[in-house]
A and B are shown apart, each in its own frame.
Chain A
Amino acid sequence: MIEPTGVQVRLLEFLRAGMFSADTEVTVETDLIASGFDSLSLVSLLVFIEQTYGLWIPQNEINEANLKNIRAIAAVVVRLLNERQPPS
């Protein structure tokens, strides 16, 4: 089973480096949409996830609940990864 913690750390690093200004505090609980997560950020995040984990989050999974914060996004990524690679 792939655990969410590692995914959360990667996503957090990416969002801190690429999307938020240096003085913005971002945690796994930060409400992304309220923090200015716009359509540009969304595309960049989807590309990052595809590059890093080799999976594209299906369009029907791209919604407010799954993009609420890094914890929610990481949970989707982990679920999709585990669906793709059942535990041995």
Chain B
Amino acid sequence: MNLTEFLDRTASNWPDKTALIEGDRAVSYVELVENTLALAAQLRKLQLSSACRVGICFPNSVNYVALTFALWRINAVVVPIPTECTEEELSSIATTMQLEAILSRNARSQSVSLGPDVFFTRLTPALPPDNHGLNLAFIRFTSGTTSARKGVALCHETIGDRVLAANQALRIGPADTVMWCLPMAHHFLVTIVLYLSQGATIVLARHVLSRPFLEAANRWQGTVLYAAPFHYSMLARDSSGAKLNSVRLAVSTTCSLPQEVAVSFQQRFGLPLSQALGVIELGLVCVNVDDSTARWDSVGRPLPKYAVNIRNPDEDGYGEVVVSGPGFFDAYTNPWTSRDDLMPDGWFNTGDIGRVDPQGYLYLAGRKTAVINLAGRKVFPEEIEAVLNRHPAVRESRAYGAAHPHLGEVVEAEVVLRDATTTDTLRDFCRGHLSPDKVPSRFHVVQIIPKTTVTGKIRRQPTPPVA
């Protein structure tokens, strides 16, 4: 099985239907398929190894989508690289993920052009990657430091399963037009691949300033919004009077939805926000499509093929959220660990704390995982700590997500100092090595960083959702 079959089937059913809109340019399904075939032919001439891993570093664009499907056509494994990565971060991903090439929008040293705004850079991994015989399509890295960086590896079949499972709730079809503003480097499978598999039209919103976004939504008659609370918060404050009359579903994802945003958006547009729980290892587990007005604070009931359980609940019913269902990840890379080894009982611990009400709706109350959610982007504390620990005045550090009323979370850090230094010095040092959103907003000088007693690893604190 190959995910390009999804796209080809849609193009066969609705060849002239618009697949993607970027600015004023509309690309039909048949044009998109032809685009991917032409790019795949160019990539074949470059004689990449079978099942090699290729990094893709592009902003949201038709090119991003076409190149991903072109790579799948030649059986390459796609590794998304966020455009905000510094050169140092990109280099680390390339090494750890054993990339054989990078496709980027900007020219790089020794890159060759494959067309307007598409550059190919060949790399030489120290060792060829071992995909353990799996039909891999996609690897997303989930951590930052070279030693701790690991990838979530997903096969074509796995992604196909989770896409079809998710659509039992989302019910995306050819009548839908999705207004898209999240970064594709962080969100692609149960979103872009799903929409294209069902014949929907995707409008690539250039930015999310409320007025142009609303103009685009009304011009293209958007039916589905999929965005973070940060985006909905801006839309809720729009004073233009524009409505979203064509929208049937507005999904809020990436971090918990503040009540103020839920209420103000509903008042402004008469449209409830449906919270969702998506996990890279699992796909879309829950989305509140049937009671998002009264239960605005719930991520909904599990999708038809998923089951949610609360492990070790306290007296109020809150415990660890564990999930079973289709489309679970196939393995972690670096070191390679298969799904079956990691979850022999078939249940995956999401790292979230939550409860389930008698009607089966899941409510999240915070997270035990360390990943920091910043307006739709995932930031991993290890990569910030790795930079801070290189500063001569820092003995050790701990980065974490601090609740932020508009962005979900921002990065903060605790540092144990070896020599006196200032916050400005540490921040400037971080700016030299990290993309802007990863630079800690606050530094706290502490005497000790708590460690787990067994492994000596940094103890990660749960992050409560912002009230």
A48 near B106 (CB under 8 angstroms)?
A: no
Binds B, one of A1-9, A14-22, A73-81: A14-22
Return chain B residues, CB-CB under 8 Å to A60.
Answer: 237, 239
- Give the residue of A14, A38, A45, A63 whose beta carbon is less than 8 angstroms from that of B59: A38
A43 near B375 (CB under 8 angstroms)?
A: yes
**What interface size band does chain B fall in?**
35 or more
Return chain B residues, CB-CB under 8 Å to A29.
Answer: none
- Give the residue of B233, B234, B374, B439 whose beta carbon is less than 8 angstroms from that of A51: B439
Chain A CB within 10 A, most for which of B236, B437, B439: B437
A33 near B207 (CB under 8 angstroms)?
A: yes
- Give the residue of A14, A40, A45, A64 whose beta carbon is less than 8 angstroms from that of B377: A40
A14-B431 Cα distance, complex, nearest whole Å: 9
B206 within 8 A of A: yes
A59 within 8 A of B: yes
B304 within 8 A of A: no
- Give the residue of B84, B106, B209, B439 whose beta carbon is less than 8 angstroms from that of A40: B84
B450 within 8 A of A: no
- Per-residue 0/1 for A23-46: is the Cβ within 8 Å of any B Cβ (1 yes, 0 no)? 000000000010011111011111
B207 near A42 (CB under 8 angstroms)?
A: yes
A12 within 8 A of B: no
Closest-CB distance, B86 to chain A (whole angstroms): 9
B437 near A43 (CB under 8 angstroms)?
A: yes
B441 near A50 (CB under 8 angstroms)?
A: yes
Return chain B residues, CB-CB under 8 Å to A44.
Answer: 84, 435-437
- Given the known interface contacts A38-B207, A59-B234, A67-B209, the answer about A47 and B410 at a Cβ–Cβ threshold of 8 Å is yes
Near A by CB (< 8 A), chain B positions 404-463 give 405-407, 410, 427, 431, 435-437, 439, 441
A61-B441 Cα distance, complex, nearest whole Å: 21
- Per-residue 0/1 for B218-261: is the Cβ within 8 Å of any A Cβ (1 yes, 0 no)? 00000000000011011011010000000000000000000000
Return chain A residues, CB-CB under 8 Å to B435.
Answer: 18, 44
Near A by CB (< 8 A), chain B positions 200-218 give 205-212
Closest-CB distance, B409 to chain A (whole angstroms): 11
B181 within 8 A of A: yes
Return chain A residues, CB-CB under 8 Å to B405.
Answer: 56
Closest-CB distance, B236 to chain A (whole angstroms): 8
A37-B405 Cα distance, complex, nearest whole Å: 23
A33-B209 Cα distance, complex, nearest whole Å: 10
Closest-CB distance, B393 to chain A (whole angstroms): 19
Return chain A residues, CB-CB under 8 Å to B441.
Answer: 47, 50-51
B146 within 8 A of A: no
A30-B183 Cα distance, complex, nearest whole Å: 24
Return chain B residues, CB-CB under 8 Å to A64.
Answer: 209, 211-212
Closest-CB distance, B313 to chain A (whole angstroms): 36
Return chain A residues, CB-CB under 8 Å to B427.
Answer: 51
A18-B87 Cα distance, complex, nearest whole Å: 11
A18 near B237 (CB under 8 angstroms)?
A: no
Closest-CB distance, A9 to chain B (whole angstroms): 15
- Give the residue of A14, A38, A50 whose beta carbon is less than 8 angstroms from that of B206: A38
B349 within 8 A of A: no
- Per-residue 0/1 for A51-86: is the Cβ within 8 Å of any B Cβ (1 yes, 0 no)? 100001011101110010000000000000000000
Identity of the chain A residue whose Cβ is nearest the Cβ of B105 in the assembled complex = A21
Identity of the chain B residue whose Cβ is nearest the Cβ of A45 in the assembled complex = B436
- Given the known interface contacts A40-B84, A40-B183, the answer about A18 and B436 at a Cβ–Cβ threshold of 8 Å is yes
Return chain B residues, CB-CB under 8 Å to A56.
Answer: 405-406
Return chain A residues, CB-CB under 8 Å to B210.
Answer: 62-63
A46-B439 Cα distance, complex, nearest whole Å: 13
Closest-CB distance, B155 to chain A (whole angstroms): 29
- Given the known interface contacts A40-B84, A44-B436, the answer about A62 and B207 at a Cβ–Cβ threshold of 8 Å is no
B183 near A59 (CB under 8 angstroms)?
A: no
Return chain B residues, CB-CB under 8 Å to A46.
Answer: 406-407
Identity of the chain B residue whose Cβ is nearest the Cβ of A37 in the assembled complex = B207
B142 within 8 A of A: no
Identity of the chain B residue whose Cβ is nearest the Cβ of A61 in the assembled complex = B237
B293 within 8 A of A: no
A60-B239 Cα distance, complex, nearest whole Å: 8
A63 near B83 (CB under 8 angstroms)?
A: no
Identity of the chain B residue whose Cβ is nearest the Cβ of A22 in the assembled complex = B106
- Chain B positions near chain A (C-beta within 8 angstroms): 59-60, 83-84, 106, 181, 183, 205-212, 230-231, 233-234, 236-237, 239, 374-377, 405-407, 410, 427, 431, 435-437, 439, 441
The 3 A-B pairs at the shortest CB distance, nearest first, are namely: A44-B436, A18-B436, A60-B237
A-B residue pairs in contact (CB < 8 Å), sample of 24: A19-B436, A33-B206, A33-B209, A36-B59, A39-B183, A39-B376, A40-B84, A40-B377, A42-B209, A43-B230, A43-B407, A44-B84, A44-B435, A44-B436, A46-B406, A47-B441, A50-B410, A51-B427, A59-B233, A59-B236, A60-B237, A62-B210, A64-B211, A64-B212
- New A-B pairs, 9, CB < 8 Å, besides A59-B233, A59-B406, A64-B212: A39-B181, A39-B205, A40-B84, A40-B183, A47-B407, A47-B436, A47-B437, A56-B405, A63-B211
